[in-house]
Structure 1
Amino acid sequence: MPRLGTRREVVAQTVVADDYPLTEVPQSARRGLLSLTTVLLGFVFFTPTMLAGAQVATAFRPGALFTVLLTGSLILGTYVAVLAVIGARTGLTTVLLARYTLGSGGSKWADILLGGTQVCWYAVTAAFLSELIVEAFGWQGFEWLVIILGSALTGLTAYIGYRGIEVLSALSVPLMFILCCWVVVRATDEVGGLGGFGATEPTTVLPWATAVTIVVGTFVSGGTQTPNWSRFARLPRQAFVAAFGSFFVANLLMLVFGAVGALAFAEGDFVSVLLRLNLTVAAVVLLALNVWTTQDNAAYAFGLAGAELTGVHGKRPFVVGGIAIAMVLALSGIYEALPQYLVLLGVLIPPLGGTIIGDYVFVWRGKLPPVNRTRFVRFRWTCVGAYATGTAVAFVSDQVEFGLPPVQGILVAIVAVPLFESLARRLGRQHNHTVLRSGETTTVPA
């Protein structure tokens, strides 16, 4: 009769099989630059990002449009690359980093915000894929069935873990890149060559700052969760190169592809552009693979957030639960609210990443104690205040159309952390975690 494992052994086996959701990734499980780049490119090569590029394109002349896309992508790439380095150095997910920054209670907001937005992204993408398939094959009336089946299928690799995501991304990214380049060539022919784009005139009005916020918002939620994957990097510099290359270069390309399609065909929806080019089976297969690589990353992220939220040593139940919620949202028509949703993400999420960066650099000075030797306070009010301040600045600047809300939110949050920490020390009101002595461990947040 086989020996039954102890509870500690069962938990340890679950942690390894489920990609270390509540612990640091050990060096033995780390991977190289190619592996991480493949996973992140699969995440960023996301066709609904083209929708954002297409919508912004209708409000600017080509020169100003490229400046908007370049500025937004540079902000996003730099921000994400810094977080990726922190993930590689600590081996921790974003929500675990938030536990150090906000406290065991404050991190629950990060779980809800980051996990919830990824559930919403999953729903948006499920609706996008359903629209493509229904229009391509004339399956009107069966949108609900396509959403349900597609959502279930694209969550499989997230359920498996990092390795499943890596294999799928390696297959999908080259195919998607080929398809996008082909669309650009056809779009260029449609307008009579490159000079034809210069003759296009804006048809809508969009403030410059709002447009940049939309660009940042395309992946600020997913980008803030880059430590979920960069924690597997062997070296911090590998994490930086992979993240910056993916979120600056690749995300910029996706935005440009969407903008070019919109300018050439006067279509703000990339699905309609593809169908006008008479792509059916090839488009469905390639785009389904592309969408799948983003869906599994989103499901992986909200699975990890659910594990931290509940303290369960496993992400898989939350992958399944998140997909079920996303199905309901997709059926409710969330796809139509995408532009407003992107602006909201550009206000709420960047200050969280900024707070984590400020805390890691100025308070912890790049050295976090191990999770199992840290007794966490419920709330670190200094960092909670820094996040709230950054969010307020981003919100107000968005409302009055002043500056770049995501950038201001990040920078204010970063600077506010050491300022609030200094003030708390002077007032004798610091709330810090307790680092246990060697040999002492804890697995339950205080």
Structure 2
Amino acid sequence: MQGNNDYPLSAVPAEHRKGIVSMVALLVGFTFFTSTMWAGGQLGTAFSLHQLLTIIFVGNLILGVYAAALAYIAYKTGLNTVLLGRYCFGEYGSKLADFVLGFTQIGWYAWGVATMAIVLTKLCNLDESWQIPLMILFGFGFCVTASIGYRAMEILSKVSVPAMLLFIGICFYKGLIDVGGIGELFAIEPQDSMSFGAAITVVIGTFISGGAQATNWSRFSKTGKVAVIATLFAFFLGNGLMVFVGAFGAMIYHQSDIVDVLVAQGFMITAVLMLFANIWTTQDNTIYNFAAAGCNLFRTDKRGLITVIGAAVGTVLAIFGMYNYLIPFLVLLGTFIPPIGAIIMTNFWFVHRANPPKLGDIDLPNFDAKGLIAYVLGSGAAYFSPWMPPLVGIVVSSIVYMLLASVLAPQRNQVKAG
């Protein structure tokens, strides 16, 4: 794979495509993340279990379909999101997507590093002075598998995902015993309030950034069916399970993180193992995403170097308090990420009729006004929308891009002559 570079600036060739087991393991490991459980915990105290199951279903279905649509495009072209951005934003305009997606991944990485250090010091009763050294250790430690590439992350996920499912099963079993059975769980009354639309937005916002960048791995899929099924499994079922785990813990133990729940249940060692597996399998994917965006931004294939630089920046942000900014960061993701994926999808199916030419065979403008205008209007609509901002951003940006592409049809990208 070009050493361990995983084709950061080109399509993945057929001989390096992967099957369903590999794709599911890696993508599910990516979506198993503690912040999603935290979001689920907010929902668990605001809705009855019947309402909660509906919210989880609807929110993760929207998220899953969005991610699966991009996954199919990635399989078809062999390209990730930032490379696909060149078709609709232009050669230099695509740097907008690089910056937005790269920034969000650095933010997630910083939050994960800080979370790991803070939670571990609490679990082990260590002095707070240990937190910064641990942030440095984990900040660079978590990027090792990402620096190596797809194969290392695949191995980690194949070990961690079954282990996490086992730990979740133990948590559910003990929780149902403690609450008095499924009937008692359904009987729990909500203590807080939240609108249905806001709840759906929270669910979508938990991993919309990851859904927009899951193309970094779905482009390795052997077939379109593998790409779509694996992505739906991860973002509809996997992310949905994480939301439910958080809600389950909040309803019974008033703790949304499964690590805290396992501690409350008396499973300390299991809690520590879950913490490592849960965070590492997302952190290496997150910094891998940053490296993909960075390689396109700087037009370099030195993915390993960009990975380490990103880890260093993320570690610094963790040290300076990124842990305290999760809520506004989730709002930011749900507002500014979805329009990018929506424009890429519209470009693929509406402009190129699901058959775009290879990047090297097409003349692209430096800045494509259609994509940039659609992005600004879609993001603006999402930002000011009181109702489900992620969905509003997707719909508005897609419609605007479609209209502009129709009006400016003579200016569509032309295949190079000769």
TM-score range, shorter chain: over 0.9
2:251 aligned residue: 263
Q: Which residue of 2 aligns with 1:91?
A: 78
Could you tell me whether the CA contact under 8 Å between 1:190 and 1:265 is conserved in 2?
A: no
1:31 aligns with 2:18: yes
What is the deviation of 1:406?
1.4
Q: 1:280-303 CA deviation, whole Å, 9 max, x = no partner?
A: 233212320221111111111100
For the Cα contact (< 8 Å) 2:248–2:256, is it kept in 1? no
Partner of 2:383: 395
Q: 2:126 corresponds to which residue?
A: 139
Q: What is aligned with 2:416?
A: 436
Gaps of 5+ in 2: none
Q: Which residue pairs with 1:415 in the alignment? A: 399
Structure 1: 5+ residue stretches without partners:
1-12, 439-446
Q: What are the within-5 Å matches in structure 2 for residues 149-160 of structure 1?
A: 149-160=137-148
Q: Which amino acid aligns with 2:126?
A: W
Greater displacement, 255-264 / 190-199: 190-199
Q: 1:203 matched to which residue of 2?
A: 191
CA distance in 1 between counterparts of 2:302 and 2:357 reads: 22
User: Are 2:145 and 2:284, in contact at CA under 8 Å, matched by a contact in 1?
Assistant: yes
Q: Deviation at 1:269?
A: 4.2
* Partner SS for 1:106: coil
Does 1:180 pair with 2:161?
A: no
Distance between the aligned counterparts of 1:61 and 1:343, measured in 2?
Answer: 24
Q: Distance in 1 between matches of 2:195 and 2:296?
A: 38
Deviates more, 1:277-286 or 1:99-108: 277-286
Q: Does 1:59 align with 2:82?
A: no
Amino acid of the residue matched to residue 78 of structure 1?
V
1:336 aligns with 324
Contact 1:101–1:383 (8 Å) recurs in 2: yes
1:424 is aligned to 2:404: no
* Match of residue 82, structure 1, among 53, 69, 87: 69
**Letter of the structure 1 residue corresponding to residue 296 of structure 2:** E
Aligned to 2:8: 21
Q: Distance in 1 between matches of 2:39 and 2:241?
A: 12
**Equivalent residues of 1:132, 1:284 under 8 A apart:** no
**How far 1:224 sits from its partner (Å)?**
0.4
Percent identity over paired residues: 39
Q: Distance in 1 between matches of 2:167 and 2:112?
A: 18
Shift of 1:387: 1.8
Which is higher, the Rg of structure 1 or of structure 2?
Answer: 1
Shift of 1:434: 4.4
* Structure 1 stretch displaced more, 196-205 or 291-300: 196-205
CA distance in 1, matches of 2:302, 2:224: 26
Partner of 1:201, secondary structure, is coil
Residue in 1 aligned with 2:93? 106
Q: Aligned AA for 1:90?
A: T
In structure 1, which of residues 364, 382, 385 is the aligned counterpart of residue 373 of structure 2?
385
The residue type paired with residue 27 of structure 1 is A
Within 2, Cα distance between the matches of 1:23 and 1:375?
16
Query: Distance in 1 between the 2:249 and 2:237 partners?
Result: 19
Counterpart in the other structure of 1:4: none
State the alpha-carbon separation in 2 of the partners of residues 321 and 204 from structure 1: 42
**RMSD value over aligned CA atoms?**
1.7
Q: Give the superposition deviation at 1:413.
A: 2.0
Counterpart of 1:327 in structure 2 is 315
**Deviation of residue 270 (structure 1)?**
3.9
How far did residue 436 of structure 1 move?
2.4
What are the within-5 Å matches in structure 2 for residues 108-257 of structure 1? 108-141=95-128, 142-257=130-245
**Whole-angstrom distance in 1 between the partners of 2:122 and 2:74:** 41
- State which drifts further: 415-424 or 258-267: 415-424
| Residues 1:305 and 1:316: Cα distance change in structure 2 (over 3 Å) | same
Contact 2:245 2:256 in 1 (8 A): no
**Counterpart residue number, 2:30:** 43
| Cα deviation 1:397-431 (Å, max 9, x = unaligned) | 2xxx33x2212221222222221112224xx6x3x
Alpha-carbon contact 2:34-2:257 (below 8 Å) kept:
no
Q: Is the Cα–Cα contact under 8 Å of residues 71 and 228 in structure 2 kept in the other structure?
A: yes
CA distance in structure 1 between the partners assigned to 2:201 and 2:324 by the alignment: 18
Contact 1:85 1:239 in 2 (8 A): yes
Letter in structure 2 aligned against 1:119: I
CA distance in 2, matches of 1:71, 1:140: 43
Where 1:297 maps in the other structure, the secondary structure is helix
Contact preservation (8 Å) 1:106, 1:378: yes
Give the whole-Å Cα distance in 1 for the aligned partners of 2:56 and 2:127.
35
TM-score (norm 1): 0.90
CA contact (8 A) 2:245 2:258 kept: no
> Aligned pairs, how many?
417
Q: Distance in 1 between matches of 2:187 and 2:221?
A: 46
- C-alpha contact 2:146 2:288 (8 A) present in aligned 1: yes
Whether the aligned pair in 2 keeps the contact of 1:112 and 1:305 (CA below 8 Å) is yes
Residues 160, 236 of structure 1: alpha-carbon distance in 2 compared, 3 angstrom cutoff: same
Name whichever of 383-392 and 318-327 sits farther off. Answer: 383-392
Contact kept, 8 Å, 1:53 with 1:255, in 2: the verdict is yes
Quote the Cα distance in structure 2 between the aligned partners of 1:92 and 1:272. 39
In 2, distance between residues paired with 1:34 and 1:268? 29
Asked whether the equivalents of residues 214 and 339 of structure 1 are also in contact (C-alpha less than 8 Å), the reply is no
Shift of 1:16: 4.9
Letter in 1 for 2:273: V
Q: In 2, Cα distance between the equivalents of 1:336 and 1:57?
A: 21
